[in-house]
Chains A and B, each alone.
Chain A
């Protein structure tokens, strides 16, 4: 037999005890902390990841956007009000506006066979109209329409009533856009009744700009070299403009800063306050707990929206203030008790858990208990609460702005922009759609993220999806 030859050589070191570090049982999967585990579960949730990207995108839009798109959101362009997205930008340079008394008539213009004529080419600065006297008329009423009157069924907008004796001209400067206008002139008798004859004229106004405006808006490198007739490109508004001609994209970005500021900071503040309050209450217990919880009960009983409105008025907005602080204060003041209750409940529950008792029996210090058991086990719930509080805060801001008790002008928020946009919903839908879509995206993103976080963080609340 060769058996003996196979016997290993034994040395003295083989008889020293093994160190305690040797693995007694081999665990197949690597050990993962609670947060690693949660992150993996969150990553597996496609909707949550998409919403996480959305949130990051929103934050980039809000904070990086103004760097890339450096248009001043407060800058008005009263000549280009409520511009839809992507309109044309060509304009012709003209001389500065001079008042007109009906005397000067450009060559090739004047009253034609129609009875109503132009004194010079129509442009967005002015439309100068002249007409022949009508038999039996002592006054005239001038209508303007953007649709052909015979097609629309009415002469349109009564832009002027000319009753001064002998006046046979009118200068229309009201809200002229580069488009076609149909003018109708109606002769009136002494009582203001129509005499029965009308003249019509169709004109196309051309977009114009003065050198002074080119300079003020920095549209050209050398504005002084421009002369009437030259073409200039107007500033570009990719998402159009609002009711004062302000750039919609820049407004959305500055509105985002306000809406997200309130929408994120308010929940953070009241959740932090609620956590401290609830933790103290739950941890100390006894009389203090009872007292603190009664106070929370009172606050929770206040009708939320009623008191939001009331507090908005009570706190007031001083001159030049944006109105963000009062809203923040009111939100925090009214929203903290829910979190406080939740955290207190969690603390009470965890305190009774077997593993906490075990840790305590093994002599764990209070600090260890708080650091290892209380905080990690409540943090998940707190984070979920926080995420779900964001949409609520954003909606509340929008709602208050809608009833006119939100942020003060010229501060913009998505809510106040939607409120303004609602008024011109039919004619300029982009002023309503853009801010409301932003609200919707934000609310949606935070809701889905909250769902994902809840599933990932709280094993018990995880649903079977």
Chain B
């Protein structure tokens, strides 16, 4: 177990280095550089700027410098937000994205498991039909449409009520998080509901349920111990990729709801070719995801005794 963990961690570190290298050279192969502005500057002013950001050195020297700094956990200073360290940007904005992501994933997981179990129990009856219709909507409508409509719904709700029930955009309180997290988690929730429904249906008629019933296990306990627990297993396996999709896929929701998350900064940084911010966010997200996947794998081994980690 420990050996396995150590091996996975080492692989993770190499993967992060790989991500950093790919990003670095991909980024520098893009024509143009972050120092260009609409107003042309004299060659002398430009030289001053290049010297300030170290862009006057050869590319390999910049790469070496970057790797050295990365090891020390220093990603340098942003090109576009000229007074801010990339580390500060990540430190201040990642918690926002993470909060949103955690909420969304919890919404998705809790909702998906509950709805999925519900539809399986009410198979082919009204609750099943209604929920599965909503699930189909949730799977097939693009997230930016949901985000736009969600915000519109909030405005109309507030106008109807004559006061602000839930804020339309922004960040800071619980009320600000609710709708964005729901919108972000919606498609995952729909997906998990489907998954949960089919795995629950499989479990409901399994032999061990019959055995348990014959043994006289109380029905509530059968549901919790045997049905729900076994049906949840496939859902847990897809949680890892789902977490990845949600934490990096928050761009749209962050853009629409004016949430100061890291995703929004990444999109801006790419568009403005802000080298240091691109490097910082990609490496950070890459590392985050790699170690998240390792964590989920370890967790899965712990939940499902059939899986032997080696």
Contact of A403 among B139, B142, B148, B252 (CB under 8 A): B252
| B286 contacts the other chain (CB 8 A) | yes
- Residues of chain B lying within 8 A (CB to CB) of residue A418: 142, 144-145
Does B249 belong to the interface (CB within 8 Å)? yes
Contacting residues, chain B, for A303 (C-beta < 8 A): 19, 244, 248, 282, 285-286, 289
Given A309-B270, A314-B26, A403-B267, A447–B289 Cβ distance below 8 Å? no
Question: CB-CB < 8 A to B100: which residues of A?
Answer: none
Interface string of B278-292 (1 = CB under 8 A from A): 100110011001100
Cβ proximity bits B21-50 to A, threshold 8 Å, 1 near / 0 not: 011001101110000000000000000000
B105 shortest CB reach to chain A, Å: 16
B85: which A residues are within 8 A, CB to CB? none
Residue in chain B with minimal CB distance to A404: B271
Contact with B along A432-461 (1 / 0, CB 8 A): 100010011101100100000000000000
Q: Which B residues from 285 to 305 make CB contacts under 8 A with A?
A: 285-286, 289-290, 293
- A436 near B139: Cβ-Cβ < 8 Å: no
**Does B205 touch A at the CB level, under 8 Å?**
yes
From A109-117, A194-202, A294-302, the one touching the partner chain is A294-302
Contact of A297 with B143 in the complex, beta carbons under 8 Å: no
Whether a CB of chain B sits under 8 angstroms from the CB of A427 is no
Question: Inside 8 A of B81's CB, which chain A residues have their CB?
Answer: none
Q: How far is the CB of A432 from chain B (nearest CB, A)?
A: 7
Cβ of A297 and Cβ of B15 under 8 Å apart? yes
| B136 and chain A: residue at smallest CB distance | A444
CA distance A313 to B274 in the complex (A): 12
Nearest B residue (CB) for A446: B140
Question: Is B158 an interface position by the 8 A CB rule?
Answer: no
Residues of chain B within 8 A (CB-CB) of A302 are 19, 22, 286
Q: Are A304 and B148 in contact (CB under 8 A)?
A: no
A306 located at the interface, meaning its Cβ lies under 8 Å from any Cβ of chain B in the complex: yes
Q: Is the pair B251, A439 in contact by a Cβ cutoff of 8 Å? A: no
Distance (Å) between the CB of A8 and the closest chain B CB? 56
In the docked arrangement, what's the CA distance between A188 and B30, Å?
A: 54
- Contact B136 A301, beta carbon cutoff 8 Å: no
Mark out the residues of chain B between 179 and 216 whose CB falls within 8 Å of any chain A CB in the assembled complex: 198-199, 201-202, 205
* A310, B282: Cβ atoms closer than 8 Å: yes
Q: How far is the CB of A439 from chain B (nearest CB, A)?
A: 6
Whether, in the assembled complex, B141 has its beta carbon less than 8 Å from a beta carbon of chain A, the answer is yes
Binds B, one of A31-39, A225-233, A394-402: A394-402
Q: How far is the CA of A94 from the CA of B56 in the complex (A)?
A: 64
Given contacts A303-B282, A304-B248, A398-B142, contact A298 B266 (CB under 8 A): no
State A261–B286 Cα separation when bound (angstroms): 30
Give residues 367-391 of A contacting B (CB, 8 Å).
391
Which chain B residues lie closer than 8 Å to A425 at the CB level? Answer: 148, 152
Least CB separation from A436: chain B residue: B145
Q: Contact check, B248 vs A399: say whether CB atoms are below 8 A apart.
A: no
Most A C-beta atoms less than 10 A away, residue of B27, B198, B255: B198
Interface residues of B in 204-248 (CB under 8 A from A): 205, 244-245, 248
- Chain A residues positioned under 8 Å from B30 (CB to CB): 313-314, 316
Known contacts A298-B15, A398-B142, A432-B145; A463 and B198 CB within 8 A of each other: yes
Contacts of A403 in B (CB 8 A): 251-252, 255, 267
Q: Size of chain A's interface in residues, with CB distance under 8 A? A: 40
Q: Is B11 an interface residue (CB 8 A)?
A: yes
Q: How many contacts between A and B, using CB within 8 angstroms? A: 114
Query: Which residues of the other chain, A, contact B15 by a CB distance below 8 angstroms?
Result: 297-298, 301
Residues of A within 8 A of B282 (CB): 303, 306-307, 310
Q: Are A298 and B18 in contact (CB under 8 A)?
A: yes
Q: Select from chain B the residue with minimum beta-carbon distance to A295.
A: B18
B266 and A309 within 8 A (CB): yes
Chain B residue at minimum C-beta to C-beta distance from A442: B140
Q: Chain A's nearest CB lies how many Å from the CB of B233? A: 15
Partner of A443, one of B11, B19, B139, B285: B139
Inter-chain contact B148/A439, CB cutoff 8 Å: no
- Residues in A with CB closer than 8 Å to B278 are 310
Contact residues in A for B148 (Cβ distance below 8 Å): 422, 425, 432
Contact A443 B145 (CB under 8 A): no
Tell yes or no: A465 within 8 A of B by CB: yes
- Min CB distance B281 to A, Å, is 7
B27 partner residues in chain A, CB cutoff 8 A: 310, 314
- With the chains together, A395 CA to B144 CA distance in Å? 10
Indicate whether A305 sits within 8 Å of B144 (C-beta atoms), given known contacts A298-B18, A310-B270, A313-B30: no
Does A464 reach chain B (CB closer than 8 Å)?
yes
1/0 contact string of A226-246 vs chain B (CB within 8 Å): 000000000000000000000
Within 8 A of A (CB), among B38-78: none
A311 located at the interface, meaning its Cβ lies under 8 Å from any Cβ of chain B in the complex: yes
Q: Whole-angstrom distance between the alpha carbons of A404 and B267 in the complex?
A: 10
Q: Which residues of B lie under 8 Å from residue A436 when comparing CB positions? A: 141-142, 145
Q: How far is the CA of A146 from the CA of B234 in the complex (A)?
A: 57
With A297-B15, A303-B244 known as contacts, the answer to whether A440 contacts B140 (CB < 8 A) is yes
Instruction: Give bound CA distance, A154 to B22, whole Å.
Output: 57
B143: chain A residues within 8 A (beta carbon)? 399
12 cross-chain CB contacts under 8 A: A301-B15, A301-B293, A302-B22, A302-B286, A304-B244, A309-B267, A391-B140, A399-B252, A436-B141, A439-B141, A444-B140, A463-B199
